[in-house]
Structure 1
Amino acid sequence: MRTPKQERDEELLLRGDVCQTVNLDPSEVVMPEEIEDDHPEDDNSDPRWTKLLKGEVLNDEGIIELEEEKFSFIRCSPAEIYYEMDLEDPTLKVVRGTRELDLLCRRFEREILKRCQDAWKKMGRDVPPEEPEEEVKEEEEGEEPSPLEEPSPLEEGEMEDEASRRSKKKSERVQKDMKTLAEMEKRKNDRFRLHPDIWHNDPCLMNDGFACKCSKEARGAGIRHSLYVGESLIPKCEWNSNNAGKLYHYRITMSPPNNFLVKTITAIEYDNHEFLFEGFSMFSHFPIQSYPVCSVIRFNIQYTILYVEEIYPQNFTIRELELLSQFLFKDLLELFDFNLFPTDDLEKEGCPMFHFYPRFVRDLPEKGGQEVLSMCHVMQHLLKANRPVVCESDLKKWQGVDSLVWQDYVDGIKGMIVANPLKKPGAIRLDQLDRDKLLISEAEELPYPEIVHFGLHPAQLYYAGSTEYQKAYCEFRKFCLKLAKMGKPSPADKQRLVALRDKLKDVRAKSRMKRDVTAEFSSKGFFQTGIFCDISQHAMCIPVLASHLRFHRSLHYLEEDMGYTFKNRSLLQLALTHPSYREKYGTNADHARNSLTNCGIRKPEYGDKKSLYSTTKKRGILTLIHIMSRFGKEEETESKVPHNERLEFLGDAVLEYLTSIHLFFMFPNLEEGGLATFRSAIVQNQHFAVLARKIHIERYLLYAHGTDLSHDAELRHALANCFEALIAAVFLDSDIDRTDKIFSQIYWKGEDPLLLDIWTNLPKHPLQEQEPDGDRKWIDKIPLLKKFTEFEERTGYKFKHIRLLTRAFCDHSIAFNNLTLGSNQRLEFLGDSVLQLLTSDYLYRHFPEHHEGHLSLLRSSLVNNKTQATICDQLDLAKYVLINRTTVDIRTKDKADLMEALIGAICVDSYPDMDFCRTLCNVCFFPQLRHFIITQDWNDAKSKLQQCCLTLRRMDGGDPDLPVYRVIECKGPTNTRIYKVGVYFRGKCLAACSSHSIQSAEMATAAQALENCREIFPELEFQKQLLAKAHNLARLHDEKTRSMSGENAGQTEGISATFNRKLRGLSSKVRKRRSRVKALLSLEASVSAKEEKR
């Protein structure tokens, strides 16, 4: 009986991609005809398998580019003494180790691993540290004030309490910093410390204390504790076998190759050939599906870790792989917190989830193939290299040897990882070997040459992590910004700037604050390993890949709880990523940083940090102006923002719409106020946190491992945001109908099935229930309905229930009647949520560089009374309104409500389809965004004035001066009262304006102040210059658009006519989704053609 793994390997073999053999010369291997072809470019085999034979590299667009080199076959180096084929089932190609291999492994354990274990026992490193004390967050005493009560001014005693609380928090921060420094000083004075400036790793500890400070309850779950859902004990592999047919083999590659292709490559000489290290192979106990690409940011470069399935190699055993993993990851790199065992295997009785094989290869140019060094030869190389850096018996020889001979010896081991298990750290990169003290020594006991290592201080110790430096730099930067906005700095300001700059230089000049460190220590007790830093560089990426694969494997259980399988798994990962999360190391961050510094590449190549993190910065006025000056993309564009805040923005609108539509149909007699009350009870963070716990989102949430989210309040807020992002991910991955079903199942999970049935099986609208087949038959009998057919002809959308359209124009001043069965207030409630959803969806898809706050500003510029009233006038909706008032003019708010009611009526008539509502927004609302961005209408006058005042804040660190609005005068009767409001800044009145409301008067006053006092606020001129480029680009774009479409100055076509063209032809005969979309697209194409022709 053949296994699926065997069938897949045979398929690979039959395709002619790879051929492996054991203990055979390449000339004896019978290759398929297509492999012997002299013209491999003419090979018409499946390109998916061709990729396995070439080096994969990702270009800037994330597309795999294949190198020119192609290997016609891959084989292992001959090793018939150490391996033999299992003849029980030759088709599986199972290889077992011989007695010689057993002796080799025992020797490796005895000479290399046992030496480290004995040293750890002597130093006490095998004893786990005591559990840290739980940090309990003190709650403020007293009850929280009711949200309905306004806060009263602080009395004198309350002000003292506030001051005492601030001083208490400050003292707590000081105590925490002192505790951190004390912990670092304690570890620095460890008697086994190799050098005071070289840091080491200890289990469960970071450089400044315990790695996990969570409560005991919180430590039992979460990705941050390496606890993955669904992992169970894996039966142990056969120790003395390669377990072919049971494991899945993947070759790991890195892209780009920066900092991985080093000068000192680890090479192994075997059979007069040199085998070079190219990376690792991975053996998994489960098949790896099409998971999202694993990427990690390191050295300010975004790397992609690729895993490519290949034919199963043969000359190795699981025992060898585990021995090497113990030596590399634990003994040398000291990644004590890196654990590959399943979550349920706490005692490590089973097998790790992955095994890793170091690939030492050489090309076979005469056969066009590649040879991989057998694992036994790698073990032999490590044993052969296991000798002292400088033997005691050779000291006399090295003292008198010529300098060229000495330098040749040093060049051979420069860059090698050397080990001394009796020191902390137990392994270090040898950058130079200095014998100066040996040359001048005349003592009887000669000193050993000194190892020179060029390393880095941890971030907590050098100036960038110093509180003193951070305060000085912050003060210097603020003062520079202040001087930049001043007309002419005074001599005192210039002197202070020089003083601040000198202070920064003094802090950086301190030796203890420098980042770079040069450590020199005796080479006595150090052994060579035969491993160079290239292996360390590759090995440090393995924890990242392992955690990535384990995380995505656990997400299958989340999808089961949700009842939905994502087509785009990247959306699911993004929805679960908290803004605090950074994937860099896959294990204890300080352990990884220390190991990279001690054993990694000496001079890494760094990327451009500014361009890499340009999408993560969102604070500051300058950043706000920069981002908000950018226009939307013509096509839907994927965002590079690496967390779920943007999805949270969209998910909030999706949940608000879903809740509104259900409440609207379930409670047909409930007015707008009642519906809004019910919706606010459902759409709130406290409730979403409960729903998130129903599907156990806390087990999958990715966030920084700190104390911030270890408390219930912060965690609940993060869970609520994650739930909103998850619903948005489902919406983007499917559609609104599928999202509605998923939300309903989660909402009523564990409840009475009758409740779910009531929630999902919505009744029709009362007007639809009266006439299930439509009410257009009453048009000829009721003159009022015939009036609205004119509106349908103008817009191109024909209602199935025209009474819904009539109700949308029915003002609340009209008494209840049998024609409309009520006013348009309920439709207005629904239309508002529909408009919020469609606007949020459009902004998310077309503004990929904007964060959540920026998207909210753009949405508020569209979904407001002023914009909606303007569009209402352009569509001439007031012409059809049914109102029972003596006044002719309709207020701005009434026009906005009318627009929302129309959208709500279209939504109800075409439910569950939203194509007509989306087309309405595409034509009427979204084109307004360009104008809002150019004119900065997203930023109202009061906000802009406050921003300008904040830029003039004093440097003394006190509270900033803000504009103050005061009512100067109030006159007129109650119903037509006029308010005069003045705005004051630093005691000076900047402007004063009058209006019928205090709010509108404040807004007009702020605008007048900005106009009158430009010399006081240089920020306005700066913003003007900053936006000039965007304005020019907009003008050029508009000119290009007009020239292409043949527009001229006399063109007066309005939004109403455009809306008419877009929707005309979408009648009741094309109700199905696909037909409507096709008709809409063809109509848009014909309109464009007519415009070009005109």
Structure 2
Amino acid sequence: MGVERKRNHPNGVDPDISFNEKGLGNDGPECRCPPVIKNRGLKHGFYAGENKVLNCTRTCGSNLHYYTLQVKPGPNEGQIYKTGMTINGETYEFEGFSMITHAPLPECMTRRPICKYSLEYEFQLVEERFPIECFDPEDCNHLFDYIFHEIFEMFDFNLHPKHLPPGIVSCPIIHIMPRFVAMKNGVAHLWSTKTLLAYFLINGDKDLFNPQEIIDHCEIPDDAFSRVSNKMKRSILLNTLKKPSALRADWFERDSERREVYIVHNSIRSQNYSTPILVKIAQLEKRLNRMKKDKKFAGKNKEYDVVKRELDQLKDEHRNARYLSIRKSVAGYIDTGFKPDIIAHIAMVIIASHHIRYNFSLSVFEEIIEYQFNDRKVIELALIHSSFRSHYGTPPDHIKNIISNCGYRRKYGSEEKREKKKGIVSLFNIMGGETEGGEPILHNERLEYLGDAVVELINRNLADLAKNCRIDEMLQYAHGADLINEAEWKHALANAFEAVVAAVYLDGGLGACDRLFSKAMYGSAPNLKKMWDHINEHELKREDPLGDRELSNITPALASFHKLENILNIKFNNIRLLAKAFTRRNVPHNDLTKGHNQRLEWLGDSVLQLVVSDYLFRRYPLHHEGHMSLLRTSLVSNQTQSVVCDDLGFLEFVVKPPHKTPELKMKDKADLVEAFIGALYVDRGIEHCRSSIRIVFCPRLKHFINSEQWNDAKSHLQQWCLAIRDAQNPNPAMPDYRILSIEGPTNNRIFKVGVYFRGKRLASAAESNVHKAELKAAEIALASLESTSVSRMKEKNIGNKDHHRRHRLISDE
């Protein structure tokens, strides 16, 4: 509906040229959020900390900070037509914009946002001496409205604070000042805002050509007309009665008989303005896909080739149909004085303005969590939801429109088409170590994976902690239906909190995470916070704060662990902790170990998860959360830990009870390894655990990748189902696991799980937990599918042999 309304707009320049409207993209409303959430969040222009009235008019520019926005590469490099304005015989060249803030930029502010528009430009903010004699806040505001709102129609780009009550007048957070410079005797002279405003006021009432000039231009020779029009070529012209109001003049033509001069504008139709060809292309693509899956079309086929040629021809027609050239009369247009090089500067101003305001908000966030980041890139990434798209205070369609209507089109974006890889293909490639063509993940998914290992809590609690830290005000996410539901919003906040914890962990270590968690959970309860911040040491360490190794000289049970220390090349300060790690639940309570190893086992499991997650996060910067989770599962599985237990000879040192005990199972061996890691963490800290785990566990990763042991039965079954999926079948192509029954007492539950595909049960299995039952059901389903496939292949081979035998008999007769 939005596209058709714009096509039929009474003031539209052309039905195929899109234009900007406040709050609207090319195909309808930019924001589709319900009213209840429109007054919160960065995506609606609410930045944390912007709740003060700013008024620099009274102070005449004092206490302001002046920054030059440098865009690289220069937008007019290699271009003949550049923005420059002449006054009193002196030409002032346009160098971009300066940005004036009411506070100095944070020292740790990153140079550019992590995400940005798909432009080939980057920016840098350079602080310079404030040219107070060239700046007036009110003039600057008028220039901003004229350039950004009236000429280029960036209606949604608003720099005023939105946290203020209605009716309260304030200066914008940032003043944007056009920078026109003339060099005189090696000295740069800056055009003042007052002079520039006067220039626009004087020239704003002058038509590009008055009626007499149009008649004269229609009568002069062709070469003379070319010289005149050449001076105006690539100018950005303005007609405020039209939509869009600004248009790039690529050339001028004249009609001597009608006494008219025309603007010629070359453009590309917006993707939203689709042509009828697209419908036919979609139909043919669907048909080709069906042919590829159909066995009778396997190999070469004439019908397939015909459809393929028709599709290629239609794609060429569509590509050509997107190119557009229009002619419009010059009547009513004025020359703004700008050339297309200003467009890149405008896009960078929008990005830089958001970046500055966001970093001021991050300073507020740092005060809330009482932690200052050394590297803000990691916290910026932590606060980007996976739904986020480059927005920065104005719809992306608005940027696309001014680029198409006014910019150097070839300087923007990339025409290269990236090959789309199916998820499972990408997974195998990246697991196999293929990194070529990989792209960085510009949202908080990976940090959430790492943060989950740092903080193992229930999501609903994490959402509350996120609100306590005001993460809901800092999270960057997209407009639309993604997070409108309250449950999804809380889940996103929980994930964001995990990502923030991971960012703090990477930037400041576990101690900083502990303080963040304390502040988030008990910030409003000082007594509880004090208890959290002063947790007692382990009871064995409290008994012997300086260590208890001397006890091993008089206690044979402790002395036996010296051999293990020599094997591992690790020396415990509290050797009773090491003994406790090897004391299982069936050993009676004693004064030496003060109980069994179950709590150390629980702690060691968390430490192992954290260290492995940290290793994978740093070692594989292009892996997605799902990829890293598969590898982590391989490394920390009971099977792997059981092998580690045998390799290190842990069974020799298990503290045995007086009575005879059965041989340790796989899970028991894994528990020993986790308990040892927990004891090492309590005794020597995280760094010793990190070194040991990286030596003992991480080298095994190469074997898992090469042998595809990361690919468990559930993953295999998923790949099988994807391979045999049918695009025409409405049922899902993924296996569905359902709990069929739960039996037994609470301390010995048996879960029966069934796996279904397209509504049909493939297999079922019962185990002590849901995960094990799902794995076993997947294994049974795979075995059944593989045996069925083998049987069908044999039947097919026998059928082919019978067919060939009958064919030979007929031939002989």
Indicate whether the TM-score tops 0.5.
yes
1:632–1:846 contact (8 Å) kept in structure 2: no
Aligned partner of 2:249 among 395, 420, 430 = 430
User: C-alpha displacement at 1:804, in angstroms?
Assistant: 1.9
Which 5+ residue runs of structure 2 have no aligned equivalent? Answer: 738-754, 794-813
Match of 2:522 among 748, 751, 769: 748
Match of 2:462 among 688, 695, 699: 688
In the alignment, which of 121, 128, 148 is matched to residue 310 of structure 1? Answer: 128
1:804 pairs with 570, 573, 577, which one? 577
Long gaps (5+) in structure 1: 1-180, 657-682, 966-982, 1018-1094
**Distance in 1 of aligned mates of 2:668 and 2:709:** 22
- Alpha-carbon RMSD across the aligned residues, in angstroms, is 4.0
Map 1:557-568 onto structure 2 (within 5 A).
557-568=364-375
Q: Does 1:285 align with 2:94?
A: no
Q: CA deviation at 1:516?
A: 2.9
Between the aligned partners of 1:936 and 1:601, the Cα distance in structure 2 is 49
- Opposite residue 741 of structure 1, the aligned amino acid is R
Any idea what the Cα deviations from partners look like across 1:756-799, whole Å, max 9, x if unmatched?
23333223333334444443343244322221122122222222
Matches within 5 A, 1:28-107: none
Cross-structure match for 2:354:
547
Deviations 1:48-89 (A, max 9, x none): xxxxxxxxxxxxxxxxxxxxxxxxxxxxxxxxxxxxxxxxxx
Q: Please state how far the C-alpha of 1:292 moved relative to its aligned partner.
A: 0.6
Amino acid at match of 1:413: M
Aligned counterparts of 1:948 and 1:889: Cα–Cα separation in 2: 38
Query: 2-side partners of 1:520 and 1:433: how far apart?
Result: 9
**What is the aligned partner in structure 1 of residue 548 from structure 2?**
775
Deviation at 1:743, TM superposition (A): 0.4
Question: What is the CA deviation profile of residues 798-841 of structure 1, one whole-angstrom value per residue up to 9, with x for unaligned ones?
Answer: 22332222221122233333333332222211110010011111
Q: Deviations over 1:534-574 (max 9, x none)?
A: 12331232121111101110122211211111121222211
Secondary structure of the residue aligned to 2:622 is: coil
Correspondence for 1:916: 688
Given that 1:868 and 1:895 are in contact with CA atoms closer than 8 Å, whether structure 2 keeps it comes out as yes
Using the alignment, how far apart are the partners of 1:480 and 1:538 within structure 2?
49
| Inter-partner Cα distance in structure 1 for 2:357 and 2:155 | 19
Kept in 1, the 8 Å contact 2:261–2:329? The answer is: yes
Q: Which moved more, 1:851-860 or 1:788-797?
A: 788-797
Amino acid at match of 2:188: Q
Task: Determine the C-alpha separation between the residues in 2 that align with 1:312 and 1:253.
Answer: 16
* 1:416 counterpart = 2:226: no
Structure 1-normalised TM-score? 0.64
The answer (yes or no) to whether the contact 1:945–1:1010 under 8 Å persists in 2 is no
Shift of 1:940: 2.4
User: Which of these residues, 944, 947, 955, is aligned with residue 719 of structure 2?
Assistant: 947
Aligned counterpart in structure 2 of residue 227 of structure 1, from 46, 61, 72: 46
Match of 1:574 among 381, 385, 396: 381
Residue 797 (structure 2) aligns with: none
Q: Where in structure 2 are the equivalents of 1:130-279 lying within 5 Å? A: 181=1, 183-238=2-57, 243=60, 245-257=62-74, 262-270=79-87, 272-279=89-96
Which of 430, 433, 441 lines up with 1:630 in the alignment? 433
**What amino acid maps onto 1:502 in structure 2?**
E
CA distance in 1, matches of 2:655, 2:293: 57
Structure-2 separation of matches of 1:342 and 1:961: 49
Aligned to 2:220: 401
Distance 1:815 1:960 in 2: 54
**722-731 or 736-745, which deviates more:** 736-745
2:637 maps to 864
Distance in 2 (CA, whole Å) between partners of 1:725 and 1:372 is 45
Q: 1:825 and 2:595 equivalent?
A: no
Q: Is the 8 A contact 2:73 2:122 kept in 1?
A: yes
CA gap 1:373/1:394 in 2 versus in 1, 3 angstroms: same
Deviations 1:393-444 (A, max 9, x none): 2333222221111111211112111111122222211122222xx2233xxx
Q: 1:793 to 1:654 in 2, by over 3 A?
A: same
Is the contact made by 1:235 and 1:350 (CA closer than 8 Å) also made in structure 2? yes
Question: Which residue of 2 is the match for residue 907 of structure 1?
Answer: 681
Report the Cα distance in structure 2 between the residues aligned to 1:619 and 1:788, rounded to whole angstroms: 52
User: 1 CA distance for matches of 2:232 and 2:91?
Assistant: 17
CA drift at 1:864 = 0.3
2:266 partner SS: strand
Q: Within the alignment, does 1:451 sit opposite 2:263 as a pair?
A: yes
Q: Give the distance between the partners of 1:1016 and 1:257, measured in 2 at CA.
A: 66
Give the aligned partner of residue 653 of structure 2: 880
CA distance in 1 between counterparts of 2:779 and 2:636 reads 19
Deviations 1:104-134 (A, max 9, x none): xxxxxxxxxxxxxxxxxxxxxxxxxxxxxxx
3-state DSSP of counterpart to 1:518: strand
| Distance across 2 between alignment mates of 1:425 and 1:939 | 55
User: For the residues of structure 1 that align with 2:192 and 2:789, how far apart are their CA atoms?
Assistant: 79
Retained in 2: the 8 A contact 1:618–1:851? no
- Name the SS for the 2:298 alignment partner: coil
1:370 counterpart residue number: 188
CA distance in 2, matches of 1:696, 1:984: 42
Q: Which one-letter code corresponds to 1:248 in the other structure?
A: H
Contact 1:861 / 1:937 at 8 angstroms: preserved in 2? Answer: yes
Deviation at 1:879, TM superposition (A): 1.3
CA separation of 1:961 and 1:403: change in aligned 2, threshold 3 A: closer
Residue matched to 1:621: 424
What amino acid sits opposite 1:932 in the alignment? Answer: F
Change (3 A) 1:767 1:1007: farther
Q: CA deviation at 1:339?
A: 0.9
Number of the residue aligned with 1:1062? none
C-alpha distance 392-309 of structure 1, shift in aligned 2 (>3 A): same
Between 806-815 and 722-731, the greater mean CA deviation after superposition: 806-815
Contact 1:631 1:933 in 2 (8 A): no
Q: Return 472-481 or 549-558, whichever deviates more.
A: 472-481
Displacement after TM superposition at 1:1013 (Å): 7.5
Indicate if the aligned counterparts of 2:351 and 2:392 stay in contact, CA closer than 8 A. yes
User: Which of the residues 926, 930, 936 maps onto 2:708?
Assistant: 936
Q: Distance in 1 between matches of 2:247 and 2:47?
A: 33
Contact 1:268 1:381 in 2 (8 A): no
Instruction: Report the 3-state secondary structure (helix = DSSP H, G, I; strand = E; otherwise coil) of the residue aligned with 1:357.
Output: strand
Using the TM superposition, give the Cα deviation of residue 461 of structure 1 relative to its aligned residue in structure 2, in angstroms.
Answer: 1.9
Summarize the alignment of residues 755-770 of structure 1 with structure 2, pairs less than 5 Å apart. Answer: 755-770=528-543
Q: 2 CA distance for matches of 1:984 and 1:914?
A: 43
User: Closer, same or farther in 2 for the Cα pair 1:632/1:817, shift >3 Å?
Assistant: farther
TM-score (norm 2): 0.85
* C-alpha distance in structure 1 between counterparts of 2:638 and 2:272, whole Å: 52
| Equivalent residue in structure 2 for 1:601, among 408, 418, 438 | 408
Within 1, Cα distance between the matches of 2:472 and 2:313? 46
Q: Which residue of 1 aligns with 2:471?
A: 697
1:714 paired with 2:533, answer no
Q: Is the 8 A contact 1:858 1:938 kept in 2?
A: yes
Is 1:588 matched up with 2:395? yes
Q: Post-superposition shift, 1:733?
A: 1.1
User: SS at 2:532's partner residue?
Assistant: helix
Residue 303 of structure 2: which of 479, 487, 495 is its match? 495
The whole-number CA distance in structure 2 between the counterparts of 1:654 and 1:465 is 53
Answer yes or no: is the 8 Å Cα contact 2:217–2:225 preserved in 1.
yes
Q: 1:589 to 1:879 in 2, by over 3 A?
A: same
SS at match of 1:540: helix
What pairs with 1:331-346 in structure 2 (closer than 5 Å)? 331-345=150-164, 346=166
Shift of 1:376: 5.2
* Structure 2 partner of 1:357: 177
